[in-house]
């Protein structure tokens, strides 16, 4: 059984619905975010600013790397996602996709793109799938959050909601404490969805 469709759909659906997936952060920033949004831009151009942050550290084996990548690609073109896209007032989202490992190792695979229907969704999914797989040392979830926040700050498309989706298989072992990065993001009204990738048999060496 291939799990990649359901795993990718969990994160993308969580981003569209605004729910927390794994408890990295479960904020309720509606009032705080509303004030910030009104001050920054009164007419958002997209419904969601979605950052997809994908773990490529060495603890991720090739099967897990493929599962993440294929999961996101298939979720973005899924019927469920495209239907959810239509429910927003703008009918479109802005998405960016990057890979991360150590606190200083983040690589943007897809810069900010607008998805507003099947054609743009297909283009983003195809670009995700064609990128060569890479692996790198260390696992810095805090670095991924901080990098995602910088991407949001640079995004030319303003959304009603801002979301960072993080998938990975290990604890934060590099960079600043993950709680510090999480709290700083939540204070700015950003929702964080987290999905642990745990598809292998546990052993004494599993983190």
Give, for all 207 residues of the chain, the pLDDT tens digit.
Answer: 344 444 445 545 555 655 444 444 434 444 454 555 454 456 789 999 999 999 999 989 888 898 889 999 999 999 999 999 999 999 999 999 999 999 999 999 999 999 999 999 999 999 999 988 899 999 999 999 999 999 999 999 999 999 999 999 889 999 999 999 999 999 999 999 998 887 766 655 555
pLDDT at 35: 52
CATH for 4-196, among 3.90.550.10, 3.40.50.410, 3.30.70.270, 3.90.1200.10? 3.40.50.410
Three-state SS at 172: coil
User: What's 55's DSSP letter?
Assistant: E
Q: Where are the domains of the chain?
A: 4-196
pLDDT at 198: 75
Separation between Cα atoms, residue 6 and residue 4, nearest integer Å? 6
pLDDT at 201: 62
Q: How many CB atoms lie within 10 A of CB 187?
A: 12
Separation between Cα atoms, residue 147 and residue 181, nearest integer Å? 10
pLDDT at 26: 38
């Amino acid at each position: 059984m291939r799990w990649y469709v359901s795993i990718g759909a969990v994160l993308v659906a969580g981003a569209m619905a605004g729910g927390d997936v794994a408890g990295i952060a479960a904020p309720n920033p509606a009032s705080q975010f509303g004030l910030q949004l009104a001050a920054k831009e009164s007419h958002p151009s997209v419904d969601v600013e979605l950052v997809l942050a994908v773990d490529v550290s060495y603890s991720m084996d090739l099967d897990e790397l493929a599962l993440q990548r294929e999961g996101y690609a298939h979720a973005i073109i899924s019927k469920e996602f495209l239907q959810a896209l239509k429910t927003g007032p703008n009918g479109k989202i802005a998405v960016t996709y990057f890979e991360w490992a150590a606190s200083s190792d983040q690589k943007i695979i897809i810069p900010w793109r607008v998805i507003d229907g099947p054609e743009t969704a297909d283009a983003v999914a195809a670009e995700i799938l064609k990128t060569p797989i890479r692996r790198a040392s260390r696992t810095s979830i805090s670095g991924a959050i901080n990098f995602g926040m910088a991407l949001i700050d640079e995004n030319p498309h303003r959304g009603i909601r801002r979301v960072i989706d993080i998938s990975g298989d290990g604890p934060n072992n590099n960079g600043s404490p993950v709680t510090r990065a999480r709290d700083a993001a939540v204070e700015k009204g950003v929702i964080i969805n987290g999905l642990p990738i745990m598809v292998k048999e546990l052993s004494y060496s599993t983190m």
